[in-house]
Amino acid sequence: MTDLTELERDILARIEAATDEAALESVRLFALGKKGVVSERLKSLGGMSPDERKTMGPQINGLRDAVQGAIAARKVTLEEAALAQRLSAERVDVTLPVRESAEQRGRIHPLSQVFDELVAIFADMGFSIADGPDVETDYYNFTALNFPEGHPAREMHDTFFLREDAQGLRKVLRTHTSPVQIRTMEAVKPPIRMIIPGRTYRHDSDQTHTPMFHQVEGLVIDEGATMANLKWVLEEFCKAFFEIDDVKMRFRPSFFPFTEPSAEVDIQCDRSGGEIRFGQGTDWLEILGCGMVHPNVLRNCGLDPDVYQGFAWGMGIDRIAMLKYGIPDLRDMFEADKRWIEHYGFRPLDLPTLAGGLSS
Amino acid sequence: MKFTLSWLKEHLETSASLDEIVETLTRIGLEVEGVEDKAKALAPYRIAAVLTAEQHPNADRLRVCTVDLGDGAAPTQVVCGAPNARAGMKSVFAPPGTYIPGKDITLGVGVIRGVESAGMLCSEAELELSEDHDGIIDLPQDAPLGAAYAAYAGLDDPVVEINLTPNRPDCTSVRGIARDLAATGLGALRHVPEPPVEGAFPLGTKVVRDLPEHLCPAFALRLVCGVRNGPSPAWMQRRLKAIGLRPINALVDITNYVTFDRGRPLHVFDAAKVKGDLVVRAARAGESIVALDGRTYALDESIVVIADENGPESIGGVMGGEHTGCDETTTDVLIESALWDPLDIARTGRKLGIVTDARYRFERGVDPNDTLPGLDLATKLVMELCGGTPSEHVLSGRIPDTSRIISFPWRETKRLSGLDVPQPEAKVILQELGFHLSGTGDAVKVLPPSWRPDIEGKADLVEEIVRIAGLDRVTARPLPRAGGVAKPVLTPIQKRTRAAKRLLASRGMLEAVTWSFIAKSEALLFGGGDPSLELANPIAADLSDMRPSLLPGLIRAAQRNADRGFPDVALFEVGQCFASDAPEGQTMRAAGVRRGTARAEGVGRHWDGGARVVDVFDVKADALALLGALGLPVGSLQIVAGGPDWLHPGRCGRIQLGPKAVFGHFGEVHPSIAKALDAKGPLVAFEIVLDALPLPKAKATKTKPALALSGFQPLTRDFAFVVDSGVEAAAIVRAAQGAEKALVTDVCVFDVYEGEHVEAGKKSVAIAVTLQPREKTLTDVEIEAISQKIVGEVAKKTGAMLRG
């Protein structure tokens, strides 16, 4: 009895003294190995009398269980200590910078962003998007749009001409997106609801004019579209685009050869604080030209102006982008200055949606 | 078009304020560009009397003056440097606090060389009235002391400038503008009696029109004998000066006055200098004329002139000649009032580069019915201002009848504008504007006035009614919307354009928008420069040709950034390029350049790895990522070595689905191309033609094909081959893939080595082949057999040896 108690104390002390897994393993072998002291005792049970075995059996088995338990517990303790030690040794400086990811660095040009905003708004109103060529014939750019040959209205457009061909004909760089109105009406039967965003060119260069710029044209043709509808479309567009609840617009009669009646549209704003706020203030800012499609234009496209009618408008994409996002100089749009694009550009995943809001 | 308020009121009886008039003009389509109100700007300036002018004690050139301001207060002391300052004179005084426009300062009370000065006596230059700064304004003795100077000097007539649209020739006259305003109810158009002038004798000069009728349908002429030509009266000079014209002499000023008052350009010849009859004809080759602007113009058969026996004396409807011009010695004057062809005038004006008030009006369309009344008005003014006896007029040709009838249903206004203008109101508007209406009921016959050549049809009448009634009365009405959820609207190319931009930006690139036109030399380098795409009138020599590629613009842009101190840039552009001047020649492309260390994985130096410079594989990755995002089967794309001339021949590739389906290319920019564009590397680029990409096949359903997963684990075997250096890695990969198509799912090149452990002229290429068992686990024997097959196939296709 005493012998076993002594033995248990000795083994447990050895277990406690083991400071690593190897030492613990040698204690295990000393006690529970094939020839271990506890194993020997267990073997001795076989030679005992039944009575003796009855007494000693539980004692020796109890000794074995205690040793096994102590070894397991010690093992856990040692493992925990080892892990703690490893963890304390394994340190990095998490303040070291990581590389900026590609999605963080990339930028969408404000013109593309505004283009996508236009599409989101007008697609919702049932408008599709039409494209046309930048190099146009005189017919599509002027004649079909009711600019008579030699008329001073042609001079309002500082036109870029290409070299004359063998027949003495010269093409032009389209001075507006309106030629696509004609191409559309020639190709599609009314009802028509289109916007035509695109690149346009005029021989002009200063702080507010660049020889290349972008316009978006709108065209609605059916059997009942009126200026009242035109006003509604433009008001709804301005509210949605500038992301304001209310907008005041002023329609001034004007002249465009391809519309009759024609109007220029100003939008009310406040420019007092160095930035423009729409829907308030006392300033008027011209943002677009519009009107009812001229009967001659409808006729040129084979449509009877007593049956079909509609309206069109055109505005500068660059201009509305500058107004909305406070971009000061048009010329910077085409400079491709890294600092400018990073500042005024948009992140690749900032896709404008009506559900989520156009911006932010 | 400029006019003054008092001038307007000569035609418009109104009690409206200037602000109301200005607001109304803009509202009816005569957009006011600016209002110059000198009376407002010069309000503080008063007429004062100089009582004393003594030598300044401390300055030779200054005088100390005491000035009576006429306000009953004690005289004010002013230090003045003008040489003409003297006791007893009357001049113009500005009190402290006044802004002096000519000096851009605001006056204070000052001490000048020890003497206090409380205001300033002013020169015309200081008030920006003229260039005269030799002395202070010297007014006549009867100038009213203490009165506002602007009113006294007749400067209190505000000048209004209108941005006139080209369809409104009638509003190139003050009377036309008054008529439009009267139609709004703002006032009444004054009746101006225009009795014809009785000629005292027949005109001796004959007028011959020797040219096609339409170029000069009518030419009226009258002689006034015995005139005295001197300066025109002050009221006329003031008005002409106010609108920016320089008074010359009474006869010339009268023509200018009538031009602006009635929109009727006229010309006067000094009859003494005209030799023989006047012939209106085409100029002859070799003829020239010294015009009234003093410049000599070479003429040709396309230009209409008025000639006498000495040759051309006037460019018809554009500008008169110097030789027969009127001056102080003129005693007999021939007054011309003619009609010209608008297109021909515009063409002549453009050709000769002459812009005159006459051209401006004739090219827009002058009222034909005003030809003779205009001549009479000018005659009357000549007789009033210069005396003389008028002849009878001659009229060569005839006043063309431009009258036309428009059948106008009243409902048309509402049909187009959505605004229901009550019929009586619409009727009054048209009548006030000079339209004649006949008939009753739902439709009327409308005769537009002779001064409105822009009115063609019903829509024009709607515009007249709505613009005068007020566009603000048109209320917004919703455009009916289709029911249900909005349908998708983008075309495939539109979707691809927009996806391409987002994809490239997500690879760390910045979107640029560069000019569609580039320098000819650059266009030539990139396969363009075709004469059909060359601008006849470029805005600058380096923006002369439509771009054949986006790359020249991007390469230049990248270099500009480098020059500004940002050498590591990645730029892309998605935009149009031009292969011909036909619509089909225009393609939408996506291109990008990477410069320096601007790689997708990161830019510049970093503690975690060096600053690796960009190479061809960076842009290959961009191009393939782009094509993948646009729905192309990237695995099936062929990468073929080589590319266009602007890329490094050994470091570029083409992306294609076959030799007839080439989508674009990528590579290092050719060093000599970079040099030609003043660009430095490292510089790599890609360009994909979005229009060349096949469209995805339309599918009947959106269901994706069933996912067939194998229940067995895939396994990987590595092989290292030694091949000739020239063998393409793709050939090895293809051979390995083809060796056991049912099982090989992936082949990855994980090492390429050329160097001392490999024979010269050879390289080692190591691949990892993934096998995906489908039906059962593969046994070692089976795996070994497949491996042998792969080695054999690669050896057969590429001559490779398994590396020992």
Decide if B471 and A133 are in contact by the 8 Å CB cutoff: no
Q: Which phi and psi (to 5°) does residue B14 adopt?
A: -155, 150
Tens of pLDDT, residues B660-676:
999 999 999 999 999 99
pLDDT tens for each residue of B405-430 = 999 999 999 999 999 999 999 999 99
DSSP B221-255: EEEEES----PPPHHHHHHHHHTTPPP--HHHHHH
B201 within domain boundaries: no
**Same-domain check for residues B380 and B282:** yes
Residues B678, B547 within the same domain:
yes
Instruction: Please list the residues that pair with B788 across neighbouring strands.
Output: none
For residue B28, the chain A residues in CB contact (below 8 A) are 253
CB pairs under 8 A between A and B: 278
Average of per-residue pLDDT across B299-307? 95
The average confidence (pLDDT) of chain B is: 93
Q: Name the phi and psi angles at B210, rounded to 5.
A: -110, 70
Asked if the structure places residue B477 within a domain, the reply is no
B320's tokens: 């008169």
Structure-token pair, residue A199:
């690149």
Look up the domain containing B107 and give its range. Answer: 40-152
Banded pLDDT at B498 (limits 50, 70, 90): very high
How far from chain centre, in Å, is Cα A311? Answer: 33
User: What pLDDT, on the 0 to 100 scale, is given for residue A294?
Assistant: 97
Give the whole-number percent of chain A exceeding pLDDT 70. 98
Tell me which amino acid residue B592 is. G
B158 cis-preceded (ω within 30 degrees of 0) = no
- Mean pLDDT, residues B75-86 taken together: 88
Residue A263 phi/psi, 5° resolution?
-150, 155
Tell me the C-alpha to C-alpha distance, in Å, between residue B500 and each of A110, A161, A359, B313.
Answer: 15, 31, 20, 65
Q: Tokens for B207?
A: 């007028």
Q: Which residue has the higher pLDDT, B307 or A278?
A: B307
Q: What is the pLDDT of residue B609?
A: 81
Angstrom distance (rounded) from CA A100 to CA B192: 79
Cβ separation B571–A336 shorter than 8 A: yes
Report how far residue B531's alpha carbon sits from residue B543's, in angstroms, rounded to the nearest whole number: 14
**Under 8 Å between Cβ of B553 and B513:** no
Residue B146 has pLDDT above 90, yes or no: no
B648 and B793 housed in the same domain: no
Tokens of residue B650, six digits? 């050994």
Residues of chain A in contact with residue B27, where contact means CB-CB under 8 angstroms, are: 252-253
Cα angle B292, B296, B298 (rounded to 5 degrees) comes to 125
- From B643, B659, B692, give the residue that closes a domain: B692
Cβ-Cβ contacts under 8 Å, A158 against chain B: none
For residue B702, tell me if it sits in a domain: no
In 3-state terms, what secondary structure has residue B534? strand
Residues linked to residue B320 through DSSP beta bridges, in sequence order: B314
DSSP, collapsed to helix, strand or coil, labels residue B60 as: coil
Strand B12-13 to B406-409 pairing: unpaired
Q: Which domain-ending residue is among B334, B366, B397?
A: B397
Residue B23 CB partners (closer than 8 Å, separation 6+)? none
How far, rounded to the nearest angstrom, does the alpha carbon of residue A267 sit from its chain's CA centroid?
Answer: 29
pLDDT on residue B403: 94
* pLDDT tens by residue, B786-803: 999 999 999 999 999 998
What does the pLDDT read at residue B60? 85
* Model pLDDT for residues B597-641, shown as the tens digit of each residue: 999 999 999 998 878 999 999 999 999 999 999 999 998 999 999
Q: Is residue B704 situated within a structural domain?
A: no
Say if B600 is an interface residue toward chain A (CB within 8 Å).
Answer: yes
SS3 string, A147-192, reads CCCCCHHHHHCCCEEECCCCCCCCCEECCCCCHHHHHHHHHCCCCE
Q: Closest by alpha carbon to A250, among A218, A274, A282, A209?
A: A282
Q: Residue B317 and residue A69: Cα distance in Å, rounded?
A: 120
Where are the alpha helices (H) located in B338-410, listed in sequence order? 342-352, 357-362, 371-386
Q: What share of chain A is helix, strand, coil (3-state, %, to 5)?
A: 45, 20, 35
Across the range A109-133, mean pLDDT stands at 96
Do the domain assignments include residue B700? no
Of B28, B342, B507, the CB nearest to A253: B28
CATH number at residue B306: 3.50.40.10
A149: pLDDT strictly greater than 80 = no
User: By CA distance, what is B412's nearest residue in A?
Assistant: A306
For chain B, what is the largest distance between any 2 Cα atoms, rounded to a whole number of angstroms? 130
- Global pTM? 0.88
Q: Which positions ≥6 away from A166 have C-beta within 8 Å?
A: none
Query: Minimal Cα–Cα distance from B156 to chain A, Å?
Result: 27
Q: State the residue for tokens 């009690």.
A: B15
Helical residues (DSSP H) of B243-331, grouped into ranges: 250-262
Identify the pLDDT of residue B502: 97
Q: Are residues B318 and B441 in the same domain?
A: no
The answer, yes or no, to whether residue A153 has pLDDT greater than 70, is no
Asked if residue A80 belongs to a known ligand binding site, the reply is: no
- Please tell me which residue of chain B has the smallest CA distance to A202: B539
For B442-476, what is each residue's pLDDT tens digit? Answer: 999 999 999 999 999 999 999 999 999 999 999 99
3-state secondary structure of A234: helix
Percent of chain A with pLDDT over 90: 73
Closest by alpha carbon to B184, among B417, B13, B24?
Answer: B24
**Of A168, A170, A165, A176, residue with least CA distance to A134:** A176
Judge whether residue A2 has pLDDT over 70.
no
Asked, for residue B596, whether it belongs to a domain, the answer is yes
Q: Are residues B100 and B164 in the same domain?
A: no
3-class SS of residue B469: helix
DSSP element (H, E) containing A67: helix A50-89
Q: Are residues B234 and B356 in the same domain?
A: yes
Residue A156: predicted pLDDT: 67
In a domain, B348, yes or no: yes
Shortest Cα distance, chain B CAs vs residue A280, angstroms = 18
Residue B134 labeled ligand binder: no
Q: Any bridge partners for residue B305, and if so which?
A: B281, B315
Q: Using a pLDDT cut of 90, give the percent of chain B over it.
A: 78
Q: How far is A353 from chain B (nearest CA, A)?
A: 13
Measure the CA–CA gap between A106 and A124, rounded to whole angstroms. 28
- Residue B332 counted as domain residue: yes
d(CA B181, CA B28): 8
Mean pLDDT along residues A118-145: 95
B734 class by beta-carbon count within 10 Å (0-12 exposed, 13-18 middle, 19+ buried) = middle
- Asked if the Cβ–Cβ distance from B514 to A342 is below 8 Å, we say no
Q: Which residue of B has its CA nearest to A351?
A: B502
Per residue in B742-765, pLDDT (tens digit) is 999 999 999 999 988 888 999 999
Crossing angle of helices A37-44 and A50-89, rounded to 10°: 160
* Cβ atoms of B243 and B259 closer than 8 Å: no
Residues B348 and B450 in one domain: no
Tell me: do B286 and B303 sit in the same domain.
yes
* One domain for residues B33 and B45: no
In chain A, which residue's Cα lies nearest the Cα of B513? A334
Q: Tokens 């049956």 identify what position?
A: A307
B463 is in an annotated binding site: yes
Interface test with B, best of A94, A95, A98, A99 (most B CBs within 10 A): A99
- Using one digit for the tens of pLDDT, what is the confidence trace for B518-577? 999 999 999 999 999 999 999 999 999 999 999 999 999 999 999 999 999 999 999 999
Q: Do A334 and B510 make contact, defined as CB atoms within 8 angstroms?
A: no
B-chain CB neighbours of A123 within 8 Å are 486, 488-490
Q: Are B763 and B653 within one domain?
A: no
Q: pLDDT for B209-257, tens place per residue?
A: 999 999 999 999 999 999 999 999 989 998 998 999 999 999 999 999 9
**Residue B224 buriedness (CB in 10 A; 0-12 / 13-18 / 19+):** buried
pLDDT bucket at B708, cuts 50 / 70 / 90: confident
Question: Residue B41 in 3-state DSSP?
Answer: helix
- Distance, first Cα to last Cα, chain A: 82
Regarding whether B325 and B236 lie in a shared domain, the answer is yes
- Angstrom distance (rounded) from CA A23 to CA B216: 123
Spell out the residues 6+ positions from residue A94 whose beta carbon is closer than 8 angstroms to its own.
Answer: none
Do residues B169 and B369 touch, judged by C-beta distance below 8 A? no
CA–CA distance, B321 with B270 (Å, rounded to integer): 11
Write out the DSSP string of B184-207.
TTSSEEPP---PPPPPSS---S-E
CA atoms within 13 A on the CB side of A30: 17
What pLDDT is stored for residue A343 in this prediction?
A: 97
In the structure, how many helices (H) and strands (E) does chain B have? 20, 42
Provide the pLDDT confidence category of residue A274 given band limits of 50, 70 and 90.
confident
Q: What is the CATH number of the domain that holds B141?
A: 2.40.50.140
B10 annotated as a binding-site residue = no
Q: Which residue, B182, B279, B647, B140, is CA-closest to B655?
A: B647
pLDDT band at B586 (very low <50, low <70, confident <90, very high): very high
pLDDT of residue B484: 87
Please tell me the predicted confidence (pLDDT) of residue A260.
Answer: 95
Among A residues 310-329, those touching chain B with beta carbons less than 8 Å apart? none
Query: Structurally, how many domains does chain B consist of?
Result: 6
Same domain for B227 and B304?
yes
What count of residues does chain A have?
360
Q: Are B371 and B338 in contact (CB under 8 A)?
A: yes
pLDDT, residue B172, reads: 97
Mean pLDDT score of chain A: 92
Instruction: Determine, for residues B581 and A173 on separate chains, whether the beta-carbon distance falls below 8 Å.
Output: no
pLDDT at A166 over 90: no
Which residues fall within 8 angstroms of residue A237, CB to CB, at 6 or more apart? A121, A122
- The CATH number that applies at residue B9 is 3.30.56.10
Mutate one of B452, B473, B481, B510 to test the A interface: name it (highest A CB count within 10 A).
B510
